[in-house]
Amino acid sequence: MASTSDFKNGLVLEMNNDLMSIVEFQHVKPGKGPAFVRTKLKSIKTGKVISHTFTAGFKVNTARVERRSYQYLYKDDLGYYFMHNETFEQVTIPKDIISAPQFLKEGQAVEILFHADTETPLSCDMPTYVVLEITYTEPGERGNTATNTLKEATVETGATVKVPLFVNEGEKIKVDTRSGEYSERVKE
pLDDT digit string (tens) for 77-120?
Answer: 889 999 998 999 999 999 888 888 999 999 999 999 898 888 88
pLDDT digits (tens, 9 = 90+) for 109-152: 999 989 888 888 988 889 999 999 999 988 866 666 666 788 89
What pLDDT is recorded for position 96? 87
Please give the pLDDT value at position 100: 87
pLDDT recorded at residue 141: 66
* CATH, residue 32: 2.30.30.30
pLDDT at position 111 is 93
Domain carrying residue 136: 129-186
Query: Is the same domain home to 88 and 118?
Result: yes
CA-CA-CA-CA torsion sign (119, 120, 122, 123): positive
pLDDT tens per residue across span 35-47: 999 999 998 888 8
Dihedrals φ, ψ of 125, to 5°? -105, 125
Q: Smallest Cα–Cα separation from 98: which of 78, 115, 118, 121?
A: 121
The last residue of one of the domains, among 125, 140, 162, is 125
Task: Provide the pLDDT for residue 2.
Answer: 86
Same domain? 108 vs 136: no
Q: Cα separation of 23 and 53, whole Å?
A: 13
Per-residue model confidence (pLDDT) at position 17: 86
Question: Residue 165 in contact with residue 148, Cβ under 8 Å?
Answer: no
Separation of alpha carbons 40 and 22, rounded Å: 6
Query: Three-state SS string across the chain, please?
Result: CEEHHHCCCCCEEEECCEEEEEEEEEEECCCCCCCEEEEEEEECCCCCEEEEEEECCCEEEECCEEEEEEEEEEEECCEEEEEECCCCCEEEECHHHECCHHHCCCCCEEEEEEECCCCEEEEEECCCEEEEEEEEECCCCCCCCCCCCEEEEEECCCCEEEEECCCCCCCEEEEECCCCEEEEEECC
Domain count, the chain: 3
What pLDDT score was predicted for residue 144? 62
Instruction: With cut-offs at 50, 70 and 90, classify the pLDDT of residue 168.
Output: confident
User: Exposed e or buried b for every residue in 51-63, given b needs 16+ CB within 10 A?
Assistant: eeebeeeeebeeb
Q: What is the pLDDT of residue 18?
A: 87
Q: What amino acid is encoded at 130 in this protein?
A: V
pLDDT at 165: 84
Q: What is the pLDDT of residue 153?
A: 92
pLDDT at 71 over 80: yes
Q: Is residue 149 within 8 Å of 178, Cβ to Cβ?
A: no
Residues 53 and 84 in one domain: no
Q: What is the pLDDT of residue 93?
A: 92
Q: Are 161 and 148 in contact (CB under 8 A)?
A: no
Share of the chain above pLDDT 70, in %: 95
CATH number of the domain within which 99 lies: 2.40.50.140
End position of a domain, from candidates 83, 110, 125? 125
Do both 27 and 77 map to the same domain? no
